[in-house]
Amino acid sequence: MNLEILRYENVTVHYGRLCAVESVTADVHCGSMTAIVGPNGAGKSTLLRATLGWHRLTTGSISIGDDHVHHHHPRFAYVPQRAQIDWDFPATVRSVVEQGRFGAIGGFRSFGDDDHALVDAALREMGLAEIAERQIGQLSGGQQQRVFLARALAQGGDIFILDEPFEGVDAGLVRNLVSQFQQWRRQHRTIFAAVHDLNLARRAFSHVVLLNRRLIAWGPTEEVLTPENIRAAYGNSVPILDDVEPARA
């Protein structure tokens, strides 16, 4: 049985003349926690966005879905980068989480009992029920991050696509996020995230796609994040080489 929920076949993406991602061939295993790792400008976000269908592929193809009975047409849940959100926007926590139902009910139908139940459940699961009526700008950084995870939960996605979920998040919250992802994984959901912190990818993720415009390597984390591969991706500017060397011994 084929259990690769995302399959990238020779994927190339251009912005005008600039080549952002070049002939990437890799798979994302269903139920894995896969990190896209690479230096700035390596095409991490581009690969995520191409997966969501926002970029036309110059060459190649991305096939979505595996042989699992529920995964012929898996649903995406997308969590944007924190920096992309206008936190002054007149929106409450609940109203943002309700947006998660938009894909299912469309622009016209009103919220049914099921939808309200899903929104309430997502708010509770993320510990936001008490502050559901607050404006999003009045939350702490961790709460803000959880609002968007709750929206993704309310979407009911099979594949969680996260763009730099750990960006600007303090250490304690990183731990919470990771355990949240692991819980989703146990529910047979797939986590696919752009991560620029090499250490974090090594500690928390089961699989890694190592990218520097071209694919360097992909597969289980310990097989991919070897010193040779990291040097190939980062050149001489490896951020944490000291931390990497002992692994060779």
Partner 1 sequence: MPDLHALFVEPLQYQFMLRGLLISAMLGISGGMLGCVLIQRRMALMGDALAHSLLPGMGIAYLLFGAGVWALFGGALVAGLLAVVGTSLLGRLTRLKEDAAFGALFILFFAVGVAIVSMARTRVRVDLLHFLFGSILGVSSLDLWLAWAVSTATLVAFALFYRHILLETFDAGFYRATGRRGDIVHYGLLALVVLNLVAALQALGVVLALGVFLLPAATATLWFARWGRTLALSAALGVVGSCLGLFASYWLHIPSGPAIVAMLGVFFVVSVVVAPRSGLRKR
Binding residues vs partner 1 (CB under 8 A): 49, 52-54, 76, 78, 80, 84-86, 89-92, 95-96, 99, 102-103, 107-108, 135, 137, 151, 161
Judged by beta carbon, residue 116 or residue 175, the one nearer partner 1 is: 116
CB of 159 within 8 A of CB of 189?
A: yes
Q: What phi and psi, each to the nearest 5 degrees, are found at residue 45?
A: -65, -35
Judged by beta carbon, residue 137 or residue 235, the one nearer partner 1 is: 137
Q: What phi and psi, each to the nearest 5 degrees, are found at residue 211?
A: -130, 140
Judged by beta carbon, residue 15 or residue 67, the one nearer partner 1 is: 15
The residue behind tokens 């070897």 is 226
CB atoms within 10 A of CB 169: 17
CB of 91 to partner 1, least distance (A): 6
Judged by beta carbon, residue 80 or residue 239, the one nearer partner 1 is: 80
Judged by beta carbon, residue 95 or residue 226, the one nearer partner 1 is: 95
Judged by beta carbon, residue 70 or residue 89, the one nearer partner 1 is: 89
CB of 104 to partner 1, least distance (A): 9
Token pair recorded at residue 72: 């012929």
Question: Amino acid identity, residue 205?
Answer: F
Q: What pairs with residue 6 in β-bridges? A: 28, 64
d(CA 218, CA 221): 8
d(CA 104, CA 109): 10
Q: What phi and psi, each to the nearest 5 degrees, are found at residue 118?
A: -65, -40
d(CA 52, CA 58): 15
Q: What share of the chain is helix, strand, coil (3-state, %, to 5)?
A: 40, 25, 35
CB of 227 to partner 1, least distance (A): 35
